[in-house]
Amino acid sequence: DIQMTQSPSSLSASVGDRVTITCRASQSISSYLNWYQQKPGKAPKLLIYAASSLQSGVPSRFSGSGSGTDFTLTISSLQPEDFATYYCQQSYSTLLITFGPGTKVDIK
C-alpha cells in the first residue's frame, strides 16, 4: 500500500498569509496526486489534480507542485473562506487509493 503523510497536521494563520502544506508518499507516485478542501459538514472539494493542475472554478491563489514522493499545496494569500481541512490523495494506484491524514487550517 502507498502511505501518504502530511505536514503539518494543523496550522494557525492570518488572512493574507502565505500557507504551505506538504504531502509525502511512501513510494514514487509520479504526478498522481490530488488536493481536496473540506469544510465542516461538507463533502470534499477538488482543488488541484495531477499535482499542479488547477480545477476549474478554483481561485488562482491555490497552487500545487511536486512529483515523485514530495508535493506541496500553497495558498498565496489566505482568505477567510480558506479556513478548512486539506487532504492529499494519491491516484497512482486506482486499485488502492489512499488519502493523507489531513491538515487543518484555522484562524490565528
Partner 1 sequence: QVQLVQSGAEVKKPGASVKVSCKASGYTFTGYYMHWVRQAPGQGLEWMGWINPNSGGTNYAQKFQGRVTMTRDTSISTAYMELSRLRSDDTAVYYCARLIAVADEYYFDYWGQGTLVTVSS
Residues that bind partner 1 (CB under 8 A): 32, 34, 36, 38, 43-46, 49-50, 53, 55, 87, 89, 91, 94-102
**Beta carbon of residue 5, minimum distance to partner 1 (angstroms, whole number):** 12
How far is Cα of residue 37 from the mean position of the Cα atoms in its chain? 7
Closest separation between CB of residue 49 and partner 1, Å?
4
Closest CA to 54 of 70, 38, 35: 35
Given the complex with partner 1, which of 13 and 54 has the nearer CB atom?
A: 54
**CA atoms of 12 and 107, how far apart (whole Å):** 5
Distance in Å, CB of 12 to partner 1, minimum: 18
Q: Which is nearer to partner 1, 16 or 41 (CB)?
A: 41
